[in-house]
Amino acid sequence: MDKTTTTQLQAGTASQRVRTALVIGGGIAGPVVATALQRVGIRATVCEAYAGTADGIGGGMGFAPNGLEALDAVGIGDAVRAVSTPMEGMVIESWNGKHLGEFGNLPGVPAQRFVQRSDLYRVLNDAAEAAGVTTLTGRRLVDAVDDGTQVTARFEDGSTATADLLIGADGIHSTVRRLIDPSAPDAEYAGTHSFGGWVEDSGLPDTGGKMYMSFGKRAFLGWQVFEDGRCLWFVNLPSTTPVTVAEQRAKGAEFWLRTMVELFREDANPAVRLLERTDPGELMFAGSMEFMPSVPTWSRGRMVLVGDAVHAPSSSSGQGASLAIESAVQLARCLRDLPVDQALATYEQLRRPRVERIMKATARTNARKAAGPVGRVVRDALLPLMFKLMKPEKSAWQYVHPIDFAAPVA
Ligand SMILES: Cc1cc2nc3c(=O)[nH]c(=O)nc-3n(C[C@H](O)[C@H](O)[C@H](O)COP(=O)(O)OP(=O)(O)OC[C@H]3O[C@@H](n4cnc5c(N)ncnc54)[C@H](O)[C@@H]3O)c2cc1C
């Protein structure tokens, strides 16, 4: 399609029912909401800022069972099962190798899954394409005008597009959030910045589907060794100021690998071995860990937010992608059954209490990773007791959240 032309989707009449939608962002929430909308007869176009696909980009991620269940509601669950593997649990250690705790899968709750981020993106985008979604790449939204019956989006390349509804699935630094409410809060820095990598031949024993985590003296390490000896690792480095991916890159992979080796030197975990075996060309720069504080305004007129744009929990929660998917599916249900103003209000009523409860429950995770020298001493003294007293079954409610897509929204 000629990028300089205006895209006029077959917009609905003055009727309050949404017939067409522009979805800004082709990450996780974007393709899912677009697929779900197509399923209910609303024509969806995804506009993604980046020109290329996400193939090969990003590391691995934990995928919570509630996200998979939400994908099942719109028929995409099995495609994600096919590219992911069940995780057997999590083992937590302190810097000196002391075993602090272990969490297996909860009884009656399906296992978390491990998936490569690039595989997840590919599967979700393939599903969207199969459902008839049009995806336009190289379209970075810069502005949007809502005339009361339709929204016209303007992109950086000068092109425009018009539809009955504009959905901001444009991530934690959402442009749509600012268009809806210029005084909306920004993402907040969670106190650490991160890196990740793969080591082909780690020489470490298979961790049996478990992710190991170590509260190192100066930084936090997570690692999982697979049957074939490949090891995925990530590191959270405490820092008083946020660090962007561009700033990380500017210093170069060798600098960061050397820095991390020094930071982990005294720890009884495999960090030094893994960092020394990581190909600098393959180091993954993840920038600052951030979360969204509560967003007062989820929608205005014919613009609405979904996913990280409106509810990004701590990246250590393992719930970001799943909550984004749940919201995407519920938004489509509401738009199917209700006129637009009621649909957007009902969507927020359905979603806000749950996402804010999860964000609150998981907020502390990063704080422990970002502890300063004094906090570290306190943390190391308290963690063994905390893990002993922890009752993981109390968090089961997060992971079981069936959505009956066919059921009418009241
Ligand atoms: C280091 C790290 C580790 C994480 N680990 C996990 C994990 O293990 N499990 C988990 O569930 N979650 C994890 N998360 C969180 C998870 O990645 C997010 O919750 C999830 O990606 C949210 O999906 P989204 O579609 O809302 O946003 P994104 O995935 O951020 O997608 C937003 C899309 O919008 C596009 N975009 C942005 N601005 C514009 C614009 N102006 N115009 C057009 N397009 C635009 C972007 O290019 C992007 O493709 C992690 C996050 C980080 C940073």
Domains of the chain, by residue range, sit at: 6-187+292-399, 188-290
Q: Which of 262, 329, 257, 43 is nearest to 162 (CA)?
A: 43
* pLDDT grade for 375, boundaries at 50, 70 and 90: low
By CB atoms closer than 10 A (0-12, 13-18, 19+), residue 218 is middle
Say what percent of the chain tops pLDDT 90: 80
Residue 318 Cα to ligand 1 midpoint, Å, equals: 12
pLDDT for res 364: 66
Q: Whose CA is closest to atom 30 on ligand 1?
A: 171
20: Cβ contacts below 8 Å, ≥ 6 apart: 9, 10, 11, 12, 42, 43, 44, 45, 163, 164, 165
By CB atoms closer than 10 A (0-12, 13-18, 19+), residue 107 is exposed
pLDDT tens by residue, 30-69: 999 999 999 999 999 999 999 975 555 668 899 999 999 9
Res 4 pLDDT > 50:
no
- Give me the mean pLDDT over the 210-237 stretch: 95
- Ligand 1, pocket-test mutation among 33, 55, 57, 61, most atoms within 8 A of CB: 61
CATH superfamily of 6-187+292-399: FAD/NAD(P)-binding domain (3.50.50.60)
Helix (H) or strand (E) holding 113: strand 113-116
Res 334 pLDDT > 50:
yes
* pLDDT grade for 361, boundaries at 50, 70 and 90: confident
Ligand 1 atom nearest the C-alpha of 319 is 11
Q: Which of 312, 326, 25, 356 is nearest to 168 (CA)?
A: 25
CATH number of 188-290: 3.30.9.30
E-only strand ranges, 297-371: 299-300, 303-305
CA distance 147 to 403: 33
pLDDT for res 362: 80
Ligand 1 atom nearest the C-alpha of 60 is 8
* Centroid of chain to Cα 360: 16
pLDDT for res 52: 72
Q: Which of 49, 84, 46 is nearest to 321 (CA)?
A: 84
Res 384 pLDDT > 80:
no
DSSP string, 266-305: T-SSTHHHHHHTS-GGGPEEEEEEEEPPPPS-SEETTEEE
- Give me the mean pLDDT over the 254-281 stretch: 97
* pLDDT grade for 365, boundaries at 50, 70 and 90: low
Residue 308 Cα to ligand 1 midpoint, Å, equals: 6
- Ligand 1, pocket-test mutation among 47, 48, 290, most atoms within 8 A of CB: 48
Is the Cβ–Cβ distance between 298 and 305 less than 8 Å? yes
Q: Is the CB of 140 under 6 A from ligand 1?
A: yes
Res 5 pLDDT > 50:
no
Q: Is 145 helix (H, G, I), strand (E, B) or coil?
A: strand
Is the Cβ–Cβ distance between 306 and 169 less than 8 Å? yes
Q: Is the CB of 47 under 6 A from ligand 1?
A: yes
Average pLDDT, the chain: 91
Q: Taking the CB of residue 126, how many other CB atoms lie within 10 A of it?
A: 14
C-alpha angle 54-184-331 in degrees, rounded to nearest 5: 60
Residue 286 Cα to ligand 1 midpoint, Å, equals: 11
pLDDT for res 8: 47
- Ligand 1, pocket-test mutation among 24, 315, 317, 362, most atoms within 8 A of CB: 315
Say what percent of the chain tops pLDDT 70: 90
* pLDDT grade for 367, boundaries at 50, 70 and 90: low
Res 2 pLDDT > 50:
no
pLDDT tens by residue, 113-170: 999 999 999 999 999 999 999 999 999 999 999 999 999 999 999 999 999 999 999 9
Hey, what long-range contacts does 96-103 have (CB within 8 A, 24 or more apart)?
A: 96/267, 96/268, 97/214, 97/268, 97/269, 98/384, 100/215, 100/383, 100/384, 100/387, 101/387, 101/388, 101/390, 102/210, 103/392
Q: Is the CB of 314 under 6 A from ligand 1?
A: no
Which range, of 192-201, 297-306, 332-341, 393-402, averages the lowest pLDDT?
393-402
Q: Is the CB of 70 under 6 A from ligand 1?
A: no
